[in-house]
């Protein structure tokens, strides 16, 4: 008993047993069997037409001329056509329409033949021509259905493999290296989240990378959306930074830092983008992406930059010359953060006084417009206020030295003050940065990361749409996803790649565009100096060593520590503890009262001279050992200094900001 495969009208295949005649080979005398087997799949439509003809003729003997039968048969025809249309909702639109037309035509002829007789008027001609046409249409449909057929049916078979068999597929749109296909899930039988879960399986079925298949949900429907399939990685070829996209332009105009996979420019409009989180593992191209952004920023005319770089210029040192203020220690970063807390409201007040709801390029110009004057009724002529970019590189170091929530308040208010906060770090987990701060950084530039870390940088809807930076890790330097306000949401889950860049470009930009970049405005400078004191006002001081001269001419004859000692004065009387300690006595002399408080004030002045404006008891460790005073005593003195206005509360437990002496900005 052999088995043949029979294909029905729906494309389903059935193995059926075929008994071979004894004494005949498979190759001999099988022409009739071959023709019969080939004709079998095409017989059902013709048998159906013949059956309708016989049924119509027989029914005329019973119901010919019956009005009641006419009403019943008409209602039955309409009902049967409607049921066919309803039952075909899970099939393709073409099959559903074809089936409904076939049923409607057959039931209409049957009703007419039963009431008037099969040989009345044009009924015989309609039966022969119409019946043959319908049967042939189903035969043609079957002939065109092949296992290799592409299109809607093959797409539905592919979706069936990933659990979306009942999904309806629309007309595909084919572009170079990109196919978009709209889909719709049956009502109540699935959501767009189910589609997101099926994307990895669909990518495997298509034999493309995991992030080559994405879906964009319809914002007005939980069951509709669009598949996007990009079969070839168009980002493999490195594109070197072509130079500033808008040299000398305003920072309010878009910057260009790379390309998307479809060739579109990777653009970011900074004032619209809100604050930015840059994240990527070691080797993912995060530093080159940062250089791209800084090259664009410092080639614009109306911007100043503050940079905190704990790596002390190892990667971004070429940007130092273009910045208004640079710090490279945890203490310096903490001081810059405290300065921002004062600078932001000062800038907000200036903008409000000049009639700006938020920063715009006109705010950077001299204020010669009476509509933007702080003196109502006449032009004020105030200097303009450039846009401020506050960049914290390797921010994890800063957060460890301060507090994981230290940026939250700044991020929530800085945008209206014309300030852009950039936090760059390898992993923005909850252990390193607070949830509130991360929520205040709605824009993100995410390079390759570990699979589990993508959730820290990208919104859930972007990940559900198919974005997967974990697929790159550090194997695709520069590959990224950019999520920011002002960018089409379709592009949020579209892979991009930043330009290949190097510090040479950054150094050239810093030098070449120095003449056109604005200097710091008096409001920002004054607010920063009120917090950082000499650490800000002396930031541009020449640090180069003095020229070497004859050491013998300048060698001091007295130790610098002894210059104030009068050699003729009598020695002071000995006090307890001045000599070697006796068992049970404290070693060395311990200052008390006003003397101890004076030493504490001198310590604050020393911190201020060294540029460390944020202090706490832990910073007095060596000082306490030297003067035999305890950290609790220092804590008490800091609280007393707060009452006197010598220090201010930073909002972080155990940290106080020194109020500097008034100095010119």
- pLDDT, tens digit (0-9, with 9 covering 90-100), for 348-357: 999 999 999 9
Report CA-CA distances (Å) from 618 to 403, 612, 630: 15, 13, 11
109-113 own/partner pairs: CB under 8 Å, 24+ apart: 109/52, 109/56, 110/52, 110/55, 110/56, 110/59, 110/73, 110/77, 111/70, 111/73, 111/74, 111/76, 111/77, 112/56, 113/53, 113/56, 113/57, 113/59, 113/60
State the alpha helices, DSSP H only, in 300-407.
330-353, 395-401
> Would you say residue 77 has pLDDT above 50?
yes
> Would you say residue 145 has pLDDT above 80?
no
Q: E-strand spans in 57-177?
A: 168-169, 173-175
Per-residue pLDDT of 510-563, as tens digits, reads: 999 999 999 999 999 999 998 888 888 888 764 333 344 344 344 444 444 444
Residue 651 CB contacts under 8 Å (≥ 6 apart), including other chains: 409
* Mean pLDDT computed over 7-30: 47
Nearest to residue 284, comparing CAs of 456, 478, 469?
478
Query: Which pLDDT score is estimated for 181?
Result: 83
Query: Which pLDDT score is estimated for 555?
Result: 45
> Would you say residue 382 has pLDDT above 90?
yes
* Mean pLDDT computed over 373-391: 91
Query: Which pLDDT score is estimated for 252?
Result: 94
> Would you say residue 16 has pLDDT above 50?
no
Token readout for 630 is 């305890």
Query: Which pLDDT score is estimated for 605?
Result: 81
Query: Which pLDDT score is estimated for 152?
Result: 47
Phi, psi dihedrals of residue 338, rounded to the nearest 5°: -65, -35
Query: Which pLDDT score is estimated for 392?
Result: 94
Q: Are the beta carbons of 456 and 446 closer than 8 angstroms?
A: no
Binned at pLDDT 50, 70 and 90, residue 665 comes out as very low
Q: Which residue has the higher pLDDT, 302 or 584?
A: 302
User: What span, in angstroms and rounded, lies between the C-alpha atoms of 197 and 219?
Assistant: 18
Average pLDDT value for the chain: 80
Burial class from Cβ neighbours inside 10 Å (0-12, 13-18, 19+) for residue 228 reads buried
Query: Which pLDDT score is estimated for 39?
Result: 77
Token readout for 51 is 């059956």
The residue written with tokens 């999904």 in the block is: 167
Q: Which residues pair with 621 in a beta bridge?
A: none
Q: Which residue has the higher pLDDT, 367 or 210?
A: 367
Query: Length of the chain in residues, anyone?
Result: 665
User: ∠278-281-282 over CA atoms, to 5°?
Assistant: 115
Binned at pLDDT 50, 70 and 90, residue 402 comes out as confident
User: What span, in angstroms and rounded, lies between the C-alpha atoms of 55 and 50?
Assistant: 9
Binned at pLDDT 50, 70 and 90, residue 30 comes out as low
Token readout for 498 is 């930043």
Token readout for 370 is 């009476």
Binned at pLDDT 50, 70 and 90, residue 69 comes out as confident
Burial class from Cβ neighbours inside 10 Å (0-12, 13-18, 19+) for residue 473 reads middle
Q: Which residue has the higher pLDDT, 43 or 249?
A: 249
Residue 378 CB contacts under 8 Å (≥ 6 apart), including other chains: 370
Binned at pLDDT 50, 70 and 90, residue 24 comes out as very low
Q: Are the beta carbons of 310 and 333 closer than 8 angstroms?
A: yes
> Would you say residue 149 has pLDDT above 90?
no
> Would you say residue 155 has pLDDT above 70?
no
Per-residue pLDDT of 290-303, as tens digits, reads: 999 999 999 999 99
Nearest to residue 473, comparing CAs of 427, 527, 504?
427
* Mean pLDDT computed over 19-40: 59
Q: Which residue has the higher pLDDT, 206 or 108?
A: 108
Query: Which pLDDT score is estimated for 661?
Result: 61
Query: Which pLDDT score is estimated for 172?
Result: 77
* Strands 178-184 vs 168-169: parallel, antiparallel or unpaired: antiparallel
Token readout for 171 is 């007309």
What is residue 500's DSSP assignment? B
Q: Are the beta carbons of 45 and 138 closer than 8 angstroms?
A: yes
* Helix-helix angle 93-116:131-144, to 10 degrees: 160
Query: Which pLDDT score is estimated for 400?
Result: 80
> Would you say residue 575 has pLDDT above 70?
no
> Would you say residue 165 has pLDDT above 70?
no
């Amino acid at each position: 008993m052999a088995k043949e495969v029979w294909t029905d009208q729906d494309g389903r295949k059935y193995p059926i047993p075929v008994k071979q005649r004894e004494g005949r080979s498979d190759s001999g005398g099988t022409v009739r069997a071959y023709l019969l087997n080939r004709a079998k799949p095409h017989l059902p439509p013709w048998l159906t037409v013949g059956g309708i003809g016989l049924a119509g003729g027989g029914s005329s003997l019973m119901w010919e001329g019956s009005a009641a039968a006419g009403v019943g048969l008409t209602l039955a025809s309409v009902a049967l056509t409607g049921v066919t249309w309803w039952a075909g909702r899970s099939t393709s639109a073409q099959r559903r329409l074809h089936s409904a037309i076939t049923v409607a035509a057959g039931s209409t002829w049957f009703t007419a033949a039963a009431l008037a007789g099969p040989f009345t008027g044009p009924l015989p001609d309609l039966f022969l021509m119409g019946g043959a046409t319908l049967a042939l249409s189903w035969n043609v449909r079957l002939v065109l259905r092949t296992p290799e057929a592409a299109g809607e049916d093959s797409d539905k078979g592919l979706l069936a493999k990933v659990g979306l068999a009942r999904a309806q597929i629309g007309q595909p749109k084919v572009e170079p290296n990109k196919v978009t296909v709209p889909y719709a899930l049956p009502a109540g039988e699935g959501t767009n989240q189910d589609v997101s879960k099926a994307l990895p399986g669909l990518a495997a079925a298509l034999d493309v990378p995991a992030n080559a298949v994405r879906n964009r949900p319809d914002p007005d429907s939980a069951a509709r959306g669009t598949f996007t399939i990009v079969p070839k990685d168009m980002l493999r070829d490195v594109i070197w930074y072509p130079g500033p996209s808008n040299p000398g332009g305003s920072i309010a105009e878009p910057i260009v830092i790379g390309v998307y996979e479809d060739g579109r420019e990777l653009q970011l409009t900074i004032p619209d983008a809100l604050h930015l989180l840059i994240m990527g593992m070691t080797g993912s191209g995060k530093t080159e992406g940062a250089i791209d952004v800084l090259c664009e920023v410092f080639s614009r005319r109306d911007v100043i930059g503050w940079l905190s770089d704990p790596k002390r210029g190892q990667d971004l040192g070429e940007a130092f010359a273009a910045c208004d203020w640079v710090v490279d220690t945890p203490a310096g970063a903490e001081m810059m953060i405290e300065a921002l807390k004062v600078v932001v409201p000062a800038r907000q007040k200036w903008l409000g006084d000049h009639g700006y709801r938020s920063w715009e390029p006109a705010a950077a110009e001299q204020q010669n417009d009476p509509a933007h004057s702080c003196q109502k009724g006449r032009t004020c002529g105030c200097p303009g206020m450039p846009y401020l970019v506050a960049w914290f590189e390797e921010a994890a170091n800063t957060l460890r030295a301060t507090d994981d929530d230290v940026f939250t308040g700044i991020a929530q208010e800085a945008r209206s003050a014309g300030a852009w906060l950039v936090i760059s770090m390898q992993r923005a987990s909850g252990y390193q940065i607070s949830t509130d701060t991360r929520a205040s950084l709605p824009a993100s530039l995410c390079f390759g990361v570990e699979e589990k870390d993508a959730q820290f940088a990208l919104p859930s809807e972007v990940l559900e749409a198919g974005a997967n930076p974990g697929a790159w890790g550090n194997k695709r330097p520069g590959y990224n996803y950019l999520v920011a306000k002002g960018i089409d949401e379709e592009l949020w889950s579209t892979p991009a790649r930043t330009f290949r860049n190097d510090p040479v470009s950054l150094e050239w930009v810093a030098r070449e565009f120095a003449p056109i970049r604005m200097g710091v405005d008096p409001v920002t400078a004054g607010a920063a100096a009120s917090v950082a004191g000499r650490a800000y006002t002396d930031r541009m001081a020449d640090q180069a060593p003095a020229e070497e001269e004859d050491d013998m001419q300048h060698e001091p004859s007295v130790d610098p520590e002894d210059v104030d000692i009068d050699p003729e004065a009598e020695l002071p009387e000995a006090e307890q503890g001045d000599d070697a300690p006796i068992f049970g006595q404290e070693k060395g002399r311990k200052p008390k009262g006003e003397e101890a408080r004076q030493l504490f004030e001198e310590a604050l002045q020393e911190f201020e001279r060294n540029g460390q404006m944020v202090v706490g008891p832990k910073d007095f460790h060596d000082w306490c050992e030297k003067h035999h005073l305890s950290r609790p005593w220092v804590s008490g003195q800091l609280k007393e200094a707060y009452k006197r206005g010598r220090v201010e509360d930073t909002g972080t437990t155990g940290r106080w900001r020194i109020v500097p002496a008034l100095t010119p900005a």
